[in-house]
Amino acid sequence: MKRKLAIWMQGATSLVTLPLSMRRASLLATFPLSMRRATLLAAFPLALLLSACATPDQRGDTNGPVATAPTPAVGARWVYRGREGFRSPLVWEETHEVTRAGPDGVSVRVTLKGPSVDVERYESWAGPGLLQTGALMDIETRRFKTPLERYRFPLAPGQTWNQWVDNYNQNTDRTGQINRYVRVGSWEKVTTPAGVFDAIRMRVLMRLDDEEFWRYPTTCNYVIWYAPAVGATVREEKDAEYIERGDEMDGSGTIRAQHTLLELVSYTPGRG
């Protein structure tokens, strides 16, 4: 590795006479393949988020079908089948149930049960799509200083929004700021164990607040499908990763932090 780095540095010194824009492109091209891959892996998620954040909020095409805000009722229940991992995935059943609904907000109990999973947590919603307390990536509980716009109703194809939200992570006892960007896509037919649904596709990009001296922040790339017929998501594909500091050169520092699939198994309307 040291010999490869020395050879690269020799070539790189000849670039100093080039204009800055050409120098940057040429410099990356001189990287050994493993270093080039690591550099791109390190830069891609952040570049993707930064380009997304530069996009102004868009209202979306409201001339066609839109997903309107649901009206949650006590007793409403969504049961999902969850899977996390690759070769030997962790599996569980995840249930979301509305325990309180009123003008001041909605409370939801979330339970995860499986061979190696036994979790109970709670979410509070200030209004439709506005998460006050709840999970962002996994099973953590966060309190948001201003509500997190998980959905901005009515959801319309082409709509985008971007948030920087201060929050307190109850699991780590730390405060921080996360960045969450959403782009609403098209309507699709989605098949789940609970049936086939007309759902609107959403791409969610996040940068978390978990940077440490030994690693960069976690970046998340999610695709979720929201179905108005059940007032919730019917399928979620969630991937996340972070890069360890000091290992960028050989490409070994990229760590997969999440590879999750959630599919709706059943839905029970509430007592409304």
How many domains is the chain built from?
1
Domain of 121 in residue numbering reads as 50-268
Side-chain-side CA neighbours of residue 166 (13 Å): 3
Q: pLDDT of 186-220, one tens digit each?
A: 999 999 999 999 999 999 999 999 999 999 999 99
> Of 1-10, 131-140, 214-223, which gets the smallest average pLDDT?
1-10
Query: Is 2 domain-assigned?
Result: no
| pLDDT at res. 58 | 82
Query: Is 18 domain-assigned?
Result: no
Query: Is 174 domain-assigned?
Result: yes
- Contact of 109 with 99, CB cutoff 8 Å: yes
CATH of the domain at 142: 2.40.360
Residue 226 has pLDDT above 70, yes or no: yes
| pLDDT at res. 26 | 40
Residue 242 has pLDDT above 60, yes or no: yes
Q: pLDDT of 21-51, one tens digit each?
A: 333 334 334 334 344 444 444 444 444 555 5
Q: pLDDT of 103-116, one tens digit each?
A: 999 999 999 999 99
| pLDDT at res. 251 | 59
What's the rounded Cα separation, in Å, for the pair 236 and 226? Answer: 9
Residue 92 has pLDDT above 90, yes or no: yes
How high is the mean pLDDT of the chain? 84
Query: Is 3 domain-assigned?
Result: no
- Angle at CA of residue 184, ends 182 and 186, nearest 5°: 155
Query: Is 14 domain-assigned?
Result: no
Query: Is 245 domain-assigned?
Result: yes
| pLDDT at res. 32 | 41
Residue 61 has pLDDT above 90, yes or no: no
Q: pLDDT of 137-148, one tens digit each?
A: 989 999 999 999
What's the rounded Cα separation, in Å, for the pair 246 and 92? Answer: 36
| pLDDT at res. 93 | 98
What's the rounded Cα separation, in Å, for the pair 229 and 81? Answer: 19
